[in-house]
Each structure stands twice: as C-alpha cells, then as structure tokens.
C-alpha cells in the first residue's frame, strides 16, 4: 500500500485541473461552430480506468456531470474490447446521454499496456440529423424525429479510422462542420491523454491509484462539511414549465423533496409531473446535472469537481416523469428544464439557508435562424446567444450579475462579437443594450436583463424558438420583487407582427423583418426600500432604473 | 564617456542598469516613489553618478547619457486602482453597453458573490449616436452630427477629460469615426482623444472598444507623467534620447507613447524576454524560457528566435487587443502565503503577504507562513546575509508560523512542511511555464530556462526537474533583468488592418496596397524617432483560419511569398502552425479553405545594443569563492545536509561548482540542487546543467577556445 504524500496529492490535483483546462482551450481554438468556440457549450474531462471523474472543465455547467455516467457505461459495454488507439463516440439519451446534440468523444489512455484513464470531450454539435436543421424540433414526439442516435461506437480502433462507421454517421448529419468539430474534440482528447501518460511516467501507476482515492476522499470531506451546515430536515419546492410544444396552455410542475441528514443530502423528484408528449422532457443525466449545479452554487465554489463531490448527494428521479423520459420520447429540450428545476430547489432551501441562495434567475428564451446569405453565397446558422442572456438572481449582500443568462450557463456562454455576427450572418444588429427596469427590485436587485433588435438579412429565413420565461418571470425573495417576462416578436416588412410561441418553428421569415427580443432580469432580494440610496441615484443617472421606479418601488424621494 | 541607462519602475523598487564604453556595467536599485515615480528616477540617477568608477556630478553624468530607456507602470497602476481620467465614449446607437457587458461573461461560474468589473466609462457618459455602416463599410445611415454635438455639450458639462470614439464596422471604413473626431477636436481641444481605428483597425467590436477605452482612460496620466519626467531630466542636464518601454518588448518615443498609452499597460515585465535571449545567446542558443520570480508574482515567457508575441491580453479582466509579448503571470512569489484548504490539501498563494506585512521572518508584523519563510527554514536563505546583510531574518518566527499553520494540521515535521510549501510553489510555477509552452504547442524540455528575479534562482532547479529541463542560466544581472532588456529593445510599431478574403481568391494588388500603407506609416514613425531608413525592418503577418473557424492563427509571411503570390506556400505555413498549436491540420482536405482575416505589419527600428565585457578564463576551480558550509534541504534526497556556500561576486569565468551547493550574491541567491552542476560563463552569468550533460555547456567549460 502506497503511503499518501500530502504534498504529492496537491501536485496531482493541480495537474489534473491543468490537463482539462488545456483540453478546453484546444477545443475553443479549433472548432468552427460558434456554439462551441464562442458559446463554449462543451465540457472536457479526465476519468480513471473505472470511469470515476478525476477532474473536468465545464464551460457550461449543465454538462458538468454528464460524462462520468457514460464513461462507466462504455467500460461495461465494451468490456475487454478496449484498446490503445480506440476513439469512441456517444450521444444516445437512452444510454445515459444528456442531449442528442451533445456528442461525446472518449479516448482510453494506456500506460505500460494497461488501461489507466480516459479523456473525454462532450460538445453541442451544430447539427445531429433528425427532422429539423440544428436539432431543435419543437414538433417532435419521438427521438428519431430529433436526431441520429449514436450508442457507443468506435470510430477509431487500435489507431485505425473505421471509415465505414465514420461515413455512416456523417451521411446522417447535414453540416460538414460537425465532422471538423468532432475532429477538434478528438484532438483535445489526444492532448489530454499525452499529458496523463507524462504524469504516470513521472510518478508511476501505483502512486497515481493511491493518491486518486485520497483525492476523492478529501473532496468528499469538503462537500460533506458544506452539507452539514444545512439544518437537518425535509424541504419541498416547485418550479413551473410552460408549454410542451403541442398543447397551448399546457403547464407542468417539477416537485422536489430535499432531505438533509447530517452530511448527506437527497433530492427526490417522485412527485414531479409525468413526461410530455413533445420534446419538453429531461433525461436522467441532464436533470441530475441541473440538480448538482444548483447545489454547487450554494456551497464553497473552490471544491474540486471530481467523483468525491457527488458522493454525499443522492438524486431520485423516477422514469416517466418530465425530468426522466421513457423510451423513445423526444427530449431535446431537457437541458432547459434546468431553470425550473433550480427554481424548485431554491424555493425549497431558501427558508433554511437564506444567505446561500439567490432569488430566481432569468429563464432561457432563445432563437436560432438559418438561411442563405445572398452576399456571401453561404448558408448560415446563428444561435443568438447575445439576445438570450438575462440577469441572475440577487442574494443577500450581492446584486445579481447583469446579462449572464440562465443558471445552467452561469456566465459561461459568451455573446457573439457584434461585428463577427454581421460577418457570419446577413443580419444587421440594431440594438443590444441593458433594458431599463428589467431587473427585479430589491435591497439587492436582480441582474439586469437586455433588449436585442436586428434586421433579418435573408429571404425565406427559418426561425426556431425554444425556451420559457414568457409566462412567469424570475421570482424575488424575502421582499424582493419579480423581474419582467421574456418576449420574442417579429415585425414583418408588410407591417404584420408575429409572436412565436416559446417553442416554435416559423418558416419563410422575409428579409427586412425586425426581430425584437427581451431577456428579463433576475429576481430581487429583500425590501427595495432598503436599497443603498447613493447606488440607486447612480443607477437612475445611468438609466438602468427609471426615476419612476426609483420613486414608486424603491421609495427614493429626491 | 558615453552612457546608456535602463530604468525599470516597479511596485517596490526602481531598478537601474547602466552601461558605458569600456566599463563594467552597474546595477542599482532604489525604493520606488509611487506618488511621483520620477522622484525615484532622478534620485537613482544621482546615486548612479556617484557609483561610477570616476564619480561625476549629476549634471555632467546626465549630459553624458545618450539614451535612457524607461519602463513605467503608471498606466498599469492607474487601471488597477481606477485612478484614470474621467472619460466618455461616443459609439454607435444601440451598442453602448458592450464595454461594460464584456460579452456577458462571469469568470467564476459557481460563485454568486462574484461581481462584474467597474466599467472605465459610466453608462451616462457612453453615448450612442445615429449613423451606421454595414459589414463591408457601406453607409446605411449617415452620421448624425447634431447628436454628436449634444454629446459634446454633455461631456463639457460633466468635465470629461478624455473621449473615445468607436463605431460599428469602422474597421471597414473609418469615415464616420474621423468625422466625429474632427468635431470633438474642434469643440474639446484640450481633451485626450482616441479614435478606435487609429489605434487598432481590426474587426471585433468588443476588443476594439475595450482597447480604445483603456487607451483613453490612461492617456492623460501618461502624458502628464512623461511631461514631468522630460522636464526634470532636461532641467538636470539630460539632452539625450528618452525612449519608453512597450508591452510588445520594443521601445518608442514619448510622442508615440502619449498617443498610444495603452501600449504601456503590460510593459512592466516586457524587458525580460529580450534580455533573456541575449543570455541564452552566450551559449549559442536562440530559444529559451524566461522566468522572473518576485515578491508576489511569477512571470514566464517564451523566446523562439525572438520573444513570442500574442495579439491580445487582459488587465483587470478588461480586454486589450494589442500585440504584446506572451508573458504569463501567476500569483506565486516570495510573499505567497501557505494555507490548508477545507479538504486538507496544502495550497500556496495566490494571496501574498507582499512587502507589508511581508513574510514572518522579515519581522514586520507578518503572521502567516510564506515562501520566503519556508526558504529560510530549508536553509536556502542565510539569516545573516539577506539583502547583503542589511536585514536579519527571524528563523524562529518562520518555524513557528509553519508549525502552526502547516505542519500540525498535516501531521508533518516543520522541515517536511516547509519542503512541502517549497514543492507546491514550484509546481505552481511549473504550471505557469506549461501555459507558455505546452499550451502554445512547444515542448519545454527543448528550451533552456533563463532565471531572473530575487527569488527565482532558489526555485529553478525544482521547476526544471518538474519540467525535465536540463539547462538553466542565471544572468549576472538576474535581479534587474527587465532594466537590462530595455537597453536591448528595438523601436517597434505594430499595425493591423482587417482584410477578409479566401487565400485562393485574394485580390493581391489591394493586399499589396494595404501592406505598403502600413509599412509607410511605420517608416514615417521610425523616421520621426530619428532612425534612418537603412535600419528599418518590416515584418508581415497574416491572421488566418479555416473558413468558418472563429479563431485565427497568426503566421509570419515572408515578403517574397507575397510578391510571388505563392498561395500554396502561404497556406502551408498556416497548416504547419495550426498543426503545431492544436495537434492537427486540414492540409489536403478538399473541403477546407484557408481564409485571411487580418494583415499585420511590425515595423522595427534597430537600435545599437550595449556590448558586455567578457572576463578572462580562470579555470574550473571555484575554491577562491568558497565561503563555508551551511545545512540546506536537498530535495532530491528529501533531507537536509551541509553543502558548500560560494560568494557569487568572487566566481570567475570557468569556475565549476558541483551540486548541491549555494551561491550567494548581494541581490539574489542560487541553489544548485543535487542533480545539477554549475559553471560561470564569460560574462559572469551562471549556467546550471543536469549532471552528466556537460555537453550543453562544453564551450564554456573549455574556455570558449576563442
């Protein structure tokens, strides 16, 4: 039994982190889809031979805990048929994938002929087959209408490309850039694998195995200490989902029962509403990720993200509920059930840990346009990241953060650069600014939301909307106010106005249409009348709070 | 006698490096005077005049100085402490918040207490005006001059001292910006003005507006500071040339610096890499890693023929999209504090005890154990010969702090705990070196490491062991490396124009015009700085990518390839660089096209470099420099034992020291670990090589046979 060297333990922890960070930089710099290189909708990770998470760099937190379960599944699936030089693809939501578009690349790492670790990169692809370009099909009722399913498949075996398999996959995907982006993901995995082998060469396998276990234990201890600070008991909360893409007026409730016992915590979703007939359904992996990321926002942010952090957390989500759809339901919207899931958790825990929770965050409402850019002679796809990011919820002592978007991204998704947006799409940006009075009022106000307007630059444009937050705003806490609703409106050149539903597919949007989008702010915390007056006056001067609101809601007298 | 002086103003010390014909160069340090940094500058010059072999009056000394190269952190500090000018922004209607939004990033995603940075321009002074160009620079809406006049009225009323102008798509057509600038110049003649396309004519709105606002924010301060400095120097008798250090490792005249103040924002450590290259060259090497470890930070940079450049950086989370040296800074230094995290892991920094309260052993009130305290406990510092004997160090205090905060919680002895602190700080620094090597596609093992800074040479053996680097060079002037580098800097001016085209469809004659106009601009600037055309050089770079990629790779393109319109050769340069950086290229992939986004020109005016004096070969025996023995922690053996101590000032060219050993100099100490040996080279610098790798320093060992 190797003796644990506390110093070497720190060296391992630092090195694991730098490996996944380096993999992440490699993906950002080499991918083509703006979803990856601009919005950073991917995660890089490092796993041990059994698939336990050693470290990860999650640019988008909703992906944070989605790689390890699949890694364990692959190990079981391939058994002794795992070799040096293999590369495995996976996206299948019915074998622990989280979202069809999120394709994971796994590479086994060998040292002295033995499987010792895995590197992996999971990223949201610009297209994944199915009925609708881009993957968001609000009309889908089954998985095949959404995507090509990729259960675990080797695209490289012992270092050799399986050309037939590769061609089969990409014959079913519309856009060429997906091939290149997956090559970039493979490149990052190779990078990480090399670093891992260097590390083992230096310290040896035995030392690595022993210290890895010690690292998991140390992390578990940190997480347990955090949970112990939550009073024992059972707490319930609810979050609402509006519209399943098929039935106007439909709504669904996520119900969580949280049980805290000493240093262990259980999230039980047994009372959550049943699955829908549309694509508004979660998978177990994406829903559990949402739960974990919400909890992690309430604890010390410096705890390393490895296997140890999730050990004290138990999550029960029965199959057949909206958070864990049964085969072969459509599920593409599942990641976006994170905001209402977070709402439920925050509402449950706010009364017992009022200083650790935020008020409600702005929910996602997003759009994706595709069409033909006459001038450049190219097809384009644009996800309007800049327009969808509202404000975060306030907490006791800190205002919400302006314009960082929904809680499942938490400031990890970047706006397109305005000039690059106009190069890569034919649209003309008219406005992208903070919106006055969009933040929920409070002693600590919510993060400010934004208003976006652009002129559509292509004829016969296809617009897909997906999201929520247009029925219920981000909620305030402890006397703080709610924020405003999200909206998307289209003003056609002929003077007519089209208001898409929050999950919709609009065809034939004409050139010259004005696209108008509001992403609301976050909820406020505490009585607005107690807000610092100097700060308030500054905000009125800066036009983020109106004089009227300052007077009527905040009670500013001068 | 004619002199040249490099002056590096740092947070704690202002460093001087003086060279003169035929004399030994002189290193000098005085305490900085942050309130008016030029005071320390003149004081140091006075002291230098006295330190000459034949002392001179300040006036005689100054009148004999040909060149002063000056590095200043005036702009850096103003940004970090938000003491810049009251500034305003004129921009396109609808996008005035881009500056504050920073593309909507929260760097710490799980930390709900984390807040955004305060913008350099408050929202009420960010004015969007009507007027719009499309993506090709074609006018869609004319510029509304009435709105600009209204904005100017507000700016005047608010006593705005500095104005930025940055409009959408101006990189494709600067007409609207120029028209607005004319109006501002007329109505606010005393205001400092930055026009985005004058500073940085390239695509990406956020990058441009952020850089422009930074320039405006610090411009008036730098202008004022340089005026004061020039006046002080002139009144004291200086008639030579004053040059200012830039973040790109080059120098510039005060006139250029005044207009482009942002070029100095990250210039603090920018002298180091160029100097490091000169020390590596002593051993016939063109490439090296240059590291500098001070009290609170550790800087690492890579030299491949010349110091490696990047096209953007950050200060206080604000983007600067100007070409600069790729220097990576981490919070690791002598003052870094050791602590145990909640999971029981030992961590070092980034919190630093700084100069105040300082390490425990300085007896200035510090209570928490630092790197320096660990170094003292491990025997790396001589308690009685620190800073040349001017400070006596508190060994017991250091031991107590380490015992209480590190050893007891981890169940280790004090020595084990101190060794752990030393180990972790070195691991952190090794990671810092990986940032500039592995992350940018280079293998650190292939580079010698040039080690600078007071604390650097105590840690470099372990850093190099971690990274498998066989050769280290500790310059004789290690403690003032940046000041040395300033005297080695050429005048350098960077230009960029956005020029979007597929390589295969390139309009070569337009490209030629763009390159020629930048070269002309560079030539004019250099001529204005007194550099004759025979000493001008221009380097061309293309920022390229595969079509539909979002990030570009900069490649140096020889002018001959452009003249020959050699598409294949230029594409090959890009494929190779992409492969080097990211592990693959798409050369030969029929669906992949290369496109060019920006064209860059760097115009260089070659300056005369100081010559160093070589010593006479004195044989391998170092015994004349031996001072005695001390117990020192030898990390390879995980134990302390007596090792020989040498006086660095007495080491001669060719003297060879077998590790483990300590070498003490007035401003730094060197630890030669058990796996390394060391030889003094002909310029008095130390080359440490892995045992058995005498081949790396064979020429020096043999007395260079010259």
| Measured distance CA(B401)–CA(B42) in Å, rounded | 40
Q: Measured between CA atoms, how close is B589 to chain A, in angstroms?
A: 11
Q: What is the largest CA-CA distance in chain B?
A: 81
* Residues A349 and A258: beta-carbon distance below 8 Å: yes
- The three-state secondary structure class of B405 is helix
Q: Which of B111, B112, B409, B583 is most worth mutating to test chain A (most A CB atoms within 10 A of its CB)?
A: B112
Q: Measured between CA atoms, how close is B576 to chain A, in angstroms?
A: 14
Percent of chain A having pLDDT more than 90? Answer: 82
pLDDT in tens, B257-273: 999 999 999 888 899 99
Supply the mean pLDDT for chain A: 94
Q: Are strands A497-498 and B3-9 parallel, antiparallel or unpaired?
A: unpaired
- Return the residue matching tokens 């992208």: A432
pLDDT at A64 (0 to 100): 78
Please state the separation of Cα A32 from the chain's center in Å. 19
Query: Among candidates B495, B345, B348, B274, which has minimal Cα distance to A215?
Result: B345
User: Residues of B with CB below 8 A from A191's CB?
Assistant: 583
* Residues B227 and B220: beta-carbon distance below 8 Å: no
| Measured distance CA(A479)–CA(A528) in Å, rounded | 8
Query: Among candidates A469, A462, A444, A458, which has minimal Cα distance to A388?
Result: A469
Q: Which of A3, A10, A446 is most worth mutating to test chain B (most B CB atoms within 10 A of its CB)?
A: A10
Q: Which residues make Cβ contacts (< 8 Å) with residue B667, sequence separation at least 6?
A: B27, B29, B387, B388, B454, B478, B479, B480
For residue B89, with 0-12 CB atoms within 10 Å meaning exposed, 13-18 middle and 19 or more buried, which class applies? buried
Query: Among candidates B250, B170, B308, B320, which has minimal Cα distance to B522?
Result: B250
pLDDT at B483 (0 to 100): 92
What's the mean pLDDT in A481-502? Answer: 98
| Measured distance CA(B657)–CA(A73) in Å, rounded | 57
| Measured distance CA(B668)–CA(B486) in Å, rounded | 21
pLDDT at B583 (0 to 100): 65
pLDDT in tens, A387-441: 999 999 999 999 999 999 889 888 888 898 999 999 989 999 999 999 999 999 9
User: Residues of A with CB below 8 A from B374's CB?
Assistant: none
CB atoms within 10 A of CB B187: 16
Minimum CA–CA partner of B465 in chain A: A202
Question: Is the backbone of residue A428 left (phi > 0), alpha (psi -120 to 50) or beta?
Answer: beta
| Measured distance CA(B567)–CA(B446) in Å, rounded | 32
Residue B123 to residue A183, Cβ atoms within 8 A: no
Q: Measured between CA atoms, how close is B95 to chain A, in angstroms?
A: 6
List the end-to-end C-alpha distance of chain B, in Å, as a whole number: 28
* Residues B41 and B73: beta-carbon distance below 8 Å: no
pLDDT at B693 (0 to 100): 95
Q: Which of B89, B98, B104, B171 is most worth mutating to test chain A (most A CB atoms within 10 A of its CB)?
A: B104
pLDDT in tens, B60-103: 999 999 999 999 888 988 898 888 999 999 999 999 999 999 99
Q: Which residue among B104, B438, B439 sits closest to A389, beta carbon to beta carbon?
A: B104
| Measured distance CA(A317)–CA(A323) in Å, rounded | 7
List the end-to-end C-alpha distance of chain A, in Å, as a whole number: 72
Query: Among candidates A395, A300, A290, which has minimal Cα distance to A343?
Result: A290
DSSP state string for B559-571: HHHHHTT-HHHHH
| Cα Rg of chain B, angstroms | 27
Q: Which residue among A32, A410, A419 sits closest to B110, beta carbon to beta carbon?
A: A410
User: Residues of B with CB below 8 A from A395's CB?
Assistant: 112-113
Residue B585 banded pLDDT, cuts 50, 70, 90: confident
Query: Among candidates A411, A345, A388, which has minimal Cα distance to A62?
Result: A411
| Measured distance CA(A479)–CA(A526) in Å, rounded | 5
| Measured distance CA(B258)–CA(A294) in Å, rounded | 49
Query: Among candidates B381, B468, B471, which has minimal Cα distance to B681?
Result: B471
- The reply to whether omega before A410 is within 30° of 0 (cis) is no
* Residues B511 and B497: beta-carbon distance below 8 Å: no
| Measured distance CA(A459)–CA(A473) in Å, rounded | 34
B201: which DSSP letter?
A: B
Residue A542 to residue B123, Cβ atoms within 8 A: yes
Residue B549 to residue A32, Cβ atoms within 8 A: yes
Percent of chain B having pLDDT more than 90? Answer: 73
User: Residues of B with CB below 8 A from A430's CB?
Assistant: 94
| Measured distance CA(B456)–CA(A443) in Å, rounded | 49
Residue B344 to residue A6, Cβ atoms within 8 A: yes
pLDDT at A1 (0 to 100): 61
Q: What is the pTM of this model?
A: 0.90
Please report how the helices B395-402 and B414-436 are oriented relative to each other, as an axis angle in degrees rounded to 10: 80
Residue A14 to residue B431, Cβ atoms within 8 A: yes
For residue B509, with 0-12 CB atoms within 10 Å meaning exposed, 13-18 middle and 19 or more buried, which class applies? exposed
Using the predicted structure, report yes or no on whether residue B671 has a pLDDT greater than 80: yes
Which segments of A335-491 does DSSP mark as H helices, in order? 338-349, 385-388, 418-424
User: Residues of B with CB below 8 A from A423's CB?
Assistant: 135, 203, 500
Supply the mean pLDDT for chain B: 92
| Measured distance CA(B261)–CA(B217) in Å, rounded | 9
pLDDT at B369 (0 to 100): 97
Residue B548 to residue A177, Cβ atoms within 8 A: yes
Q: Which of A5, A8, A11 is most worth mutating to test chain B (most B CB atoms within 10 A of its CB)?
A: A11
Q: Which residue among A13, A22, A293 sits closest to B345, beta carbon to beta carbon?
A: A13
User: Residues of B with CB below 8 A from A418's CB?
Assistant: 95, 98, 168, 205-206
CA distance readout (Å), A154 to A165, A456, B407, B552? 8, 42, 49, 31
Vertex A447: Cα angle to A443 and A452 (nearest 5): 140
Q: Half-sphere exposure of residue A402, counting CA atoms within 13 Å on the CB side? A: 22
- The three-state secondary structure class of B172 is helix
Sequence-ordered strand ranges (E) for A243-364: 251-261, 264-268, 313-316
| Measured distance CA(A233)–CA(A258) in Å, rounded | 8
* Residues B71 and B271: beta-carbon distance below 8 Å: yes
* Residues A471 and A488: beta-carbon distance below 8 Å: no
Residue B342 to residue A300, Cβ atoms within 8 A: yes
pLDDT at A366 (0 to 100): 93
Residue B103 to residue A417, Cβ atoms within 8 A: yes
Q: Measured between CA atoms, how close is A84 to chain B, in angstroms?
A: 18
Using the predicted structure, report yes or no on whether residue B706 has a pLDDT greater than 60: no
For residue B304, with 0-12 CB atoms within 10 Å meaning exposed, 13-18 middle and 19 or more buried, which class applies? middle
pLDDT in tens, A138-193: 889 999 999 999 999 999 999 999 999 999 999 999 888 899 999 999 999 998 99
Using the predicted structure, report yes or no on whether residue B580 has a pLDDT greater than 80: no
pLDDT at B705 (0 to 100): 66
* Both structure tokens of A115: 């499987």
pLDDT at B445 (0 to 100): 87
What's the mean pLDDT in A4-9? Answer: 80
pLDDT at B530 (0 to 100): 82
- The three-state secondary structure class of B687 is strand
Domains, in order of start, for chain B: 3-78+224-264 (3.30.420.40), 84-210 (3.40.50), 490-605 (no CATH), 623-705 (no CATH)
Torsion of CA A360, A361, A362, A368, to 10 degrees: -140
Q: Which residues make Cβ contacts (< 8 Å) with residue B340, sequence separation at least 6?
A: B346, B347, B405, B406, B409, B410
Minimum CA–CA partner of B439 in chain A: A22
pLDDT in tens, B606-623: 988 887 788 899 999 999
DSSP state string for B324-362: EE--EEES-STTEEEEE-TTS-EEEEEEE-TTTT--GGG
Residue B461 banded pLDDT, cuts 50, 70, 90: very high
pLDDT at B489 (0 to 100): 85
* Residues A485 and A520: beta-carbon distance below 8 Å: yes
pLDDT at B389 (0 to 100): 67
Vertex B69: Cα angle to B66 and B70 (nearest 5): 140
pLDDT at B436 (0 to 100): 87
| Measured distance CA(B667)–CA(B286) in Å, rounded | 27
**Residues forming beta bridges with residue A429, ordered by sequence position:** A454
pLDDT at A469 (0 to 100): 95
| Measured distance CA(A271)–CA(A255) in Å, rounded | 6
The phi and psi torsions of A251 (rounded to 5 degrees) equal -150, 155
User: Residues of B with CB below 8 A from A225's CB?
Assistant: 342
| Cα Rg of chain A, angstroms | 24
Comparison of pLDDT for B177 and A66, the residue scoring more: B177
pLDDT in tens, A484-494: 999 999 999 99
Please state the separation of Cα B156 from the chain's center in Å. 37
């Amino acid at each position: 039994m190797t003796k644990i060297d506390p110093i070497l333990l720190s060296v391992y922890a630092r090195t694991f982190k730098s490996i996944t960070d380096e993999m992440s930089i490699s993906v950002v710099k080499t991918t083509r889809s703006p979803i990856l290189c601009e919005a950073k909708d991917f995660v890089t990770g490092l796993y041990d031979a059994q698939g336990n998470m050693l470290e990860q760099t999650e640019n988008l937190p909703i992906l944070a805990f989605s790689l390890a379960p699949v890694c364990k599944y692959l190990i079981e699936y391939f058994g002794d048929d795992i070799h040096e030089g293999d590369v495995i693809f996976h996206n299948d939501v019915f074998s622990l994938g989280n979202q069809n578009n999120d394709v994971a690349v796994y590479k086994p790492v060998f040292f002295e002929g033995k499987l010792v670790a895995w590197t992996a990169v999971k990223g949201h692809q610009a297209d994944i087959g199915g009925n609708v370009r881009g993957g968001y099909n609000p009309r889908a009722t089954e998985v095949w209408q959404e995507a090509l399913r990729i259960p675990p498949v080797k695209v490289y075996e012992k270092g050799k490309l399986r050309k037939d398999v590769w061609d089969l996959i990409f014959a079913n995907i519309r856009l060429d850039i997906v091939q290149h982006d997956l090559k970039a993901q493979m490149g990052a995995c190779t990078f990480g694998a090399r670093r891992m082998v260097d590390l083992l060469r230096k310290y040896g396998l035995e030392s690595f195995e022993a210290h890895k276990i010690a690292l998991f234990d140390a992390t578990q201890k940190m997480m347990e200490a955090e949970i112990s600070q939550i009073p024992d008991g059972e707490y319930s909360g609810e979050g609402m989902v509006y519209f399943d893409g098929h039935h106007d007026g439909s709504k669904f409730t996520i119900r969580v029962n949280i049980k805290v016992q000493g240093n262990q915590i259980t999230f039980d979703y047994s009372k959550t509403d049943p699955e829908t007939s549309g694509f508004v359904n979660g998978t177990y992996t994406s829903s559990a990720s949402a739960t974990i990321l919400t909890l992690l926002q309430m604890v010390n942010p410096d705890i390393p993200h490895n296997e140890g952090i999730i050990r004290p957390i138990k999550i029960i989500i029965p199959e057949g509920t909206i958070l864990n759809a049964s085969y072969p339901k459509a599920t593409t919207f599942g990641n976006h059930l994170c905001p209402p899931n977070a709402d439920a958790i925050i509402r449950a825990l706010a009364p017992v840990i009022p200083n650790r929770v935020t008020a409600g965050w702005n929910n996602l409402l997003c759009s994706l346009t595709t069409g033909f850019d006459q001038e450049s002679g190219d097809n384009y796809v644009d996800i309007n990241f800049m327009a969808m990011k509202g404000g975060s919820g306030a907490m006791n002592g800190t205002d919400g953060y302006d314009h960082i978007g929904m809680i499942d991204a938490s400031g990890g998704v970047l706006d397109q650069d305005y000039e690059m947006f106009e190069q890569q799409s034919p649209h003309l940006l008219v406005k992208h600014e903070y919106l006055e009075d969009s933040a929920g009022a409070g002693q600590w106000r919510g993060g400010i939301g934004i208003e976006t307007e652009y002129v559509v630059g292509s004829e016969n444009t296809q617009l897909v909307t997906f999201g929520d937050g247009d029925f219920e705003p981000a909620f305030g806490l402890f006397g703080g106010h709610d924020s405003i609703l999200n909206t998307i409106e289209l003003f056609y050149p002929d003077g007519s106005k089209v208001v898409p539903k929050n999950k919709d597919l609009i065809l034939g949007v004409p050139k010259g249409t004005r696209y108008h989008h509001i992403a609301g702010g976050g909820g406020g915390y505490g009585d607005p009348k107690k807000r610092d007056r100097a700060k308030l006056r500054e905000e009125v001067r800066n036009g983020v709070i109106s004089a009227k609101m300052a007077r009527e809601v905040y009670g500013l007298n001068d | 006698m004619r002199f040249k002086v490099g002056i590096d103003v740092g947070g704690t010390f202002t460093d001087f490096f003086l060279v003169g014909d035929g004399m030994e160069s002189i290193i000098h340090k005085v305490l900085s005077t942050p309130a008016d940094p030029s005071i320390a500058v003149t004081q140091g010059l006075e002291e230098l005049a006295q330190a000459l072999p034949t002392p001179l009056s300040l006036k005689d000394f100054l009148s004999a100085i040909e060149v002063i190269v000056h590095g200043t952190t005036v702009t850096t500090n103003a940004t970090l402490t938000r003491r810049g000018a009251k500034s305003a922004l004129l921009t396109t209607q609808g996008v005035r918040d881009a500056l504050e939004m920073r593309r909507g990033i929260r760097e710490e995603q799980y930390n709900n207490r984390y807040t955004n940075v305060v913008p350099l321009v408050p929202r009420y002074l960010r004015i969007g005006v009507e007027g719009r160009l499309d993506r090709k620079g074609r006018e869609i809406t004319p510029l509304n001059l009435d709105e600009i006049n209204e904005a100017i009225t507000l700016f005047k009323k608010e006593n705005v001292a500095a104005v930025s102008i940055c409009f959408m798509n101006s990189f494709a057509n600067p007409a609207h910006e120029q028209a607005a600038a004319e109006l501002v110049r007329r109505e606010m003649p005393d205001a400092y003005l930055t026009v985005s396309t004058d500073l940085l004519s390239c695509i990406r709105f956020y990058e441009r507006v952020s850089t422009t606002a930074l320039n405006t924010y610090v411009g008036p301060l730098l202008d004022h500071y340089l005026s004061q400095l020039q006046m002080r120097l002139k009144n004291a008798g200086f008639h030579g040339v004053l040059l200012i250090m830039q973040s790109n490792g080059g120098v510039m005249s005060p006139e250029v610096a005044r207009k482009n103040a942002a070029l100095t924002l990250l210039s603090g450590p920018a002298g180091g890499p160029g100097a490091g290259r000169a020390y590596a060259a002593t051993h016939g090497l063109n490439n090296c890693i240059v590291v500098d470890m001070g009290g609170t930070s550790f800087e690492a940079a890579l030299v491949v023929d010349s110091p490696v450049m990047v096209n953007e950086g950050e200060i206080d989370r604000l983007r600067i999209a100007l070409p600069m040296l790729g220097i990576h800074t981490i919070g690791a230094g002598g003052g870094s504090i050791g602590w145990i995290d909640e999971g029981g892991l030992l961590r070092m920094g980034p919190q630093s005890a700084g100069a105040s309260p300082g390490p425990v052993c300085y007896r200035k009130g510090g209570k928490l154990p630092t790197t320096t305290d660990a170094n003292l406990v491990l025997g790396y510092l001589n308690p009685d010969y620190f800073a040349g004997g001017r400070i006596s160090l508190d060994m017991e205090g250091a031991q107590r702090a380490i015992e209480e905060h590190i050893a007891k919680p981890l169940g280790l002895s004090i020595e084990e705990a101190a060794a752990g602190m030393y180990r972790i700080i070195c691991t952190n620094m090794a990671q810092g070196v990986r940032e500039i090597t592995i992350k940018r596609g280079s293998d650190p093992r292939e580079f010698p490491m040039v080690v600078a800074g007071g604390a650097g040479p105590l840690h470099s053996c372990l850093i190099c062991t971690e990274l498998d680097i066989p050769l280290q060079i500790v310059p004789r002037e290690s403690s003032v490396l940046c000041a040395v580098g300033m005297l080695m800097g050429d005048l350098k001016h960077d230009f960029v124009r956005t020029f979007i085209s597929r390589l295969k469809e390139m309009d070569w004659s337009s490209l030629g015009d763009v390159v020629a106009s930048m070269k002309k601009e560079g030539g004019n600037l250099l001529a204005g700085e007194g550099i004759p055309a025979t000493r001008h050089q221009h380097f061309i770079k293309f920022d390229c990518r595969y079509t539909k990629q979002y990030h570009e790779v900069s490649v140096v393109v020889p002018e001959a390839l452009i003249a020959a319109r050699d598409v294949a050769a230029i594409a090959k340069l890009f494929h190779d660089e992409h492969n080097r950086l990211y592990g693959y290229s798409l050369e030969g992939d029929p669906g992949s096209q290369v496109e060019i986004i920006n064209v860059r020109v760097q115009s260089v005016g070659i300056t005369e470099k100081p010559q160093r004096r070589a010593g006479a070969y004195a044989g391998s025996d170092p015994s004349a420099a031996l001072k005695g023995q001390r117990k020192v922690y030898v990390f390879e053996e995980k134990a302390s034992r007596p090792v020989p101590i040498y006086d660095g000032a007495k080491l001669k060219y060719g003297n060879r020291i077998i590790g483990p050993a300590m070498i003490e100099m007035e401003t730094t100490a060197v630890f030669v670990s058990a796996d390394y040996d060391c030889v003094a080279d002909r310029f008095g610098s130390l080359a440490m090589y892995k045992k058995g790798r005498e081949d790396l320093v064979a020429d020096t060992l043999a007395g260079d046979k010259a």
